[in-house]
Amino acid sequence: MSHTYRPTLSPPARFLAQAWPIVIGISASVKGESVSTLILDEVFAGIPITVFLWRLGRVRLVVDQNDVTSFGFLATRRLPWAEIDHFALSEGSSFAHAVLKDGSLVGLPAIQAAQINWLLGRRSRAADIVAELNRLNPSQH
């Protein structure tokens, strides 16, 4: 049994993430820019933004019977269930944390809290995921 959690992107954000280099190219050609300017726009704007969005797309949390693996923007962290005390989502925090048995916190960027939910006093999808992770935690039984 394996569960994968990813941050939620709205349809317009997902479209822009996939089409960004094309949007840069079209905008430069519509302005009547020269080919060299078009290439420079792609190199200095399109490619870095595409790489950023590609790395952002790897952010996820994979939970299985043995461990929890957090794939962040730059790093991957594998946490065996035996090291995890519980999962928490603190008010005002941008994302959930795994609270380890030694008291340290490990950020889980795949579980992002919508700040508007804190302001409106509503339960968020992130809170539901944290509750589900705590139910899956073998040490909680």
CATH classification code of 60-140: 2.30.29
Tell me: the pLDDT tens digits for 115-127? 666 566 677 788 8
Predicted pLDDT of residue 85: 95
Predicted pLDDT of residue 91: 74
Give domain limits for the chain: 3-56, 60-140
Predicted pLDDT of residue 72: 85
- Give mean pLDDT, residues 12-27: 69
Per residue, the 3-state secondary structure of the chain, as one string, reads CCEEECCCCCHHHHHHHHHHHHHHHHHHHHCCCCHHHHHHHHHHHHHHHHHHHHHHCCCEEEECCCEEEEECCCCEEEEEHHHEEEEECCCCCCEEEEEECCCCEEEEEEEECCHHHHHHCCCCHHHHHHHHHHHHCHHHC
